[in-house]
Amino acid sequence: MSIGKILIAQGGGPTAVINQSLAGAVREAMRHPGVERIYGALNGVRGILQERMVDLSMESVANLERLALTPGSALGSTRDKPDEAYCQKIFQVLRAHGIGAFFYIGGNDSSDTLRLVGEFARRESHDLTCVHIPKTIDNDLMENDHTPGFPSAARFVAGAFAGADLDNQSLPGVYVAVVMGRHAGFLTAASSLARRFPDDGPHLIYLPERAFSLEGFLADVQGVNQRLGRCVVAVSEGIHDAAGTPIITQLQAQVERDAHGNVQLSGTGALADLLTESIKKNLGIKRVRGDTFGYLQRSFLGVASEVDRREAREAGEQAVRFALRRRESGTVALKRVGDYAVDFVFLPLETVAGKTRVMPDAFINGAGNDVTPAFRDYLAPLVGELPVVSRIFSPRVAPLLGA
């Protein structure tokens, strides 16, 4: 019962573990005699359009295992969002090459592309199984408890804030760091996992799920700074005012938009600089520093969650098994079972395609400037244990001069 050749591609922003899913899918497919060849498209759907593909059947297992540990999209990625005509061309290439199953590792845009290509194949009565393998550091896919890539990015963000907070304890002041996430605040909220002691930062967390007001922000920072003599703040790049306008557009005369019409948020320190300047100007605090974690949070070599690695691998394996067993299109979704196990289910593409999941209200505090303990319970098993940190507990020496 041959399925012919299969094709795998990677789309959207890379993650630390997206190549685990690739390696998982390829190695699983290698085990099935019904798979004639395993092709990989370079740069996602764009590579299909341009017939730029490689024969992954020839890849050594040793190299696939090295690839699995390598951040970034080994096949290359794309930001293209195919329209009807684009999808028709994709379909023509798949048909010409005898592709029986198409696996696309990506976020909700990628799953929507699969849905469109699958519909086209159905209209042309061509037998094509389209399977989506979930991936996004934003953790914003519907139907998923969480998505591969998010736990590793969350681990980076937690480690970054743990360190930045220790740095801020050493040299007190206000520190603001901007974290990726356009619509969903999960990754910004992961900063909370860095806290060990009651006065540890981040002391304030601003998410795109709540409207942002500069006045409220400044009042919050002043309050923390008066109480602790310092303040560490986590801010999502996607924060916006009550009208939904991104705060970053308040300072950029000409904003850059991607193929999806989205304003470019990453790759600039402008938002952090706006916020730190506001604090200096309005609150008169002297030492105010801003960082933007940028591409490090999704690509850093050397920080990955072990749970994430295993799950990303298995998402790729499960996708191939579902496709070969059921011969129907769909998406692999991760469901949480107990505390903590994961179950992989197979759902229609429509359930995730083009939709965005945001943080549930139960994860955000009433003031809208922090997370709840429920969020930490949700996140902790995904990220794994963080390195130990401590503080000095020695008693104070009595002053003799009383200067």
Q: Which residues are catalytic?
A: 138
Distance between CA 24 and CA 69 in Å, rounded?
Answer: 12
User: Segment near a copy of itself (CB under 8 A), from 180-188, 242-250, 297-305, 311-319?
Assistant: 297-305
User: How many residues line the site for a copy of itself (CB under 8 A)?
Assistant: 92
Contacts of 313 (CB under 8 A, 6+ apart): 17, 20, 21, 23, 24, 68
**Whether 303 contacts 384, CB under 8 Å:** no
Distance between CA 123 and CA 169 in Å, rounded?
Answer: 62
The footprint of a copy of itself on residues 223-252 (CB under 8 A) is none
The footprint of a copy of itself on residues 265-294 (CB under 8 A) is 266-270, 272-273, 276, 288-294
Nearest approach, Cβ of 201 to a copy of itself (angstroms)? 12
- Name the residue nearer to a copy of itself (CB basis): 303 or 382: 303
Determine the residue type at 362: A
What is residue 90's three-state secondary structure? helix
User: Using the rule CB under 8 A, is 113 a contact of a copy of itself?
Assistant: no
The footprint of a copy of itself on residues 338-377 (CB under 8 A) is none
Question: 45 is written with which tokens?
Answer: 């759907």
User: Segment near a copy of itself (CB under 8 A), from 28-36, 55-63, 321-329, 366-374?
Assistant: 55-63
Question: Which one, of 106, 96, 102, lies nearest residue 118 by Cα?
Answer: 102
Nearest approach, Cβ of 259 to a copy of itself (angstroms)? 11
| C-alpha radius of gyration, the chain, whole number | 23
The footprint of a copy of itself on residues 7-36 (CB under 8 A) is 10, 13-14, 16
The footprint of a copy of itself on residues 165-204 (CB under 8 A) is 166-167, 169-171, 175, 177, 194
User: Segment near a copy of itself (CB under 8 A), from 93-101, 138-146, 215-223, 375-383?
Assistant: 93-101
User: Segment near a copy of itself (CB under 8 A), from 76-84, 115-123, 317-325, 332-340?
Assistant: 76-84
Nearest approach, Cβ of 42 to a copy of itself (angstroms)? 9
Distance between CA 48 and CA 45 in Å, rounded?
Answer: 5
Longest distance between any two alpha carbons in the chain, whole Å: 91
**Whether 91 contacts 74, CB under 8 Å:** no
**Whether 1 contacts 34, CB under 8 Å:** yes
Nearest approach, Cβ of 125 to a copy of itself (angstroms)? 20
